[in-house]
Structure formats: C-alpha cells, structure tokens
C-alpha cells in the first residue's frame, strides 16, 4: 500500500551503534508508511584521494553500496524484503549532504547520535545537531541503545580488569 503524499523516509547510513538503531527505526517507519527507504551513505573526497576527483567519484558508488549492504546486515541481518531500499551514495560532509538530500517538507530524516566529549565536537561537528537545526523536514535523532552507551571506554576497561583479576 503505497501512499503518494507520505513523503520519503531517509536514513543516514553508518556503522555506529546509534546509526544501526536509527536504520532499524527508519525501516519500521518506511514499512508503516508504505514507502521506499532512502539509505544515504556519505563519502568525503579530498585532494589526497588517489586518482583525483574523477577517481573518487568512480569508486564511491561501488564502495558506498557495499558498505550500506554491510550496515543493513549488521542492523537487521540483511536488506529488508518488504521495504524497497534506495541506496544513495553522496559526496560531501555528512551533516551538509544529509540536509541537502532531505530537502522536501514531507521527508523524514533519521540520524544516529553519539555521546562525544566536548573537545571532539570542536574538530568534528555533530551531524545530528546540524541536521536538527538546519533541515527543512522533521529529523529523528536516535541515540544508541542503553547497553551500547554503558559499554563504552573506561567502564568497559575497568570491568575487564576486574574480571581478569578475579580469575587470578
């Protein structure tokens, strides 16, 4: 049951825990609306790319599609069979490319967000914050599952050291 005015469901595709969760929610929303899911994989071509800009553009399509399929595999086991998926490779900065792609008022953009330290945000802006502030369509910002949020960095290292010391 496809609805013409339902708008597009767009998901920024990356392999982070929050990105995997956002992708699962975007698939569910596309299924609910009866529309195709636009899986956008953003690539950045800089001057260090071998072969220059033309070499970059030629390889992006294959790599982006392969990576998007791998991310679907990690998030859901495989591409969904009941939802049409349009894998779209886009070049540019992730935050700007997603906002440019989701330009219609009735689009819905799904992006994952991570908990990063303030000093990391200085050098790499938050894609989710940028999309929420600048997109002309609704943006669903999805955090990682609580397990993934709690399993990071120092806590995980401390738990591992504690478990290893108990074995000795």
Contact 11, 39 (CB under 8 A): yes
The pTM of the full predicted model, rounded to 2 decimals, is: 0.77
Structural domains for the chain: 4-167 (3.40.50.620)
Long-range pairs, 77-84, Cβ under 8 A, ≥24: 80/27, 80/31, 80/37, 82/31, 83/27, 83/30, 83/31, 83/36, 83/37, 84/36, 84/37
The mean per-residue pLDDT over the stretch 8-33 comes to: 93
Query: Which stretch of 35-44, 52-61, 87-96, 122-131 has the lowest confidence by average pLDDT?
Result: 52-61
Task: Determine the pLDDT at residue 155.
Answer: 63
In the chain, % of residues over pLDDT 90: 45
Kindly state the DSSP code that residue 5 receives in the 8-state scheme. G
Long-range pairs, 52-56, Cβ under 8 A, ≥24: 56/91
pLDDT greater than 70 at residue 148: no
State pLDDT tens for residues 28-81.
999 999 999 999 998 876 655 455 555 566 677 788 889 999 999 999 999 999
Question: Which residue, chain included where needed, has tokens 């599952």?
Answer: 145
């Amino acid at each position: 049951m496809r609805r013409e005015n339902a708008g597009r469901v767009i998901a920024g595709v990356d392999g982070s825990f929050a990105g995997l969760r956002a992708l699962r929610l975007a698939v569910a929303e596309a299924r609910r609306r009866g529309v195709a899911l636009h899986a956008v994989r953003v690539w950045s071509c800089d001057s260090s790319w071998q072969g220059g800009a033309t070499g970059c553009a030629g390889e992006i399509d294959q790599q982006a599609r392969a990576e998007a399929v791998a991310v679907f595999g990690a998030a859901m086991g495989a591409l969904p069979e009941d939802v049409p998926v349009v894998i779209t490779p886009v070049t540019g900065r992730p935050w700007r490319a997603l906002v440019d792609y989701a330009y219609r008022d009735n689009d819905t953009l799904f992006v994952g967000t991570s908990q990063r330290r303030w000093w990391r945000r200085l050098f790499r802006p938050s894609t989710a914050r940028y999309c929420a502030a600048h997109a002309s369509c609704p943006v669903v910002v999805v955090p990682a599952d609580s397990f993934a949020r709690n399993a990071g960095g120092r806590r995980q290292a401390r738990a591992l050291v504690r478990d290893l010391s108990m074995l000795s």
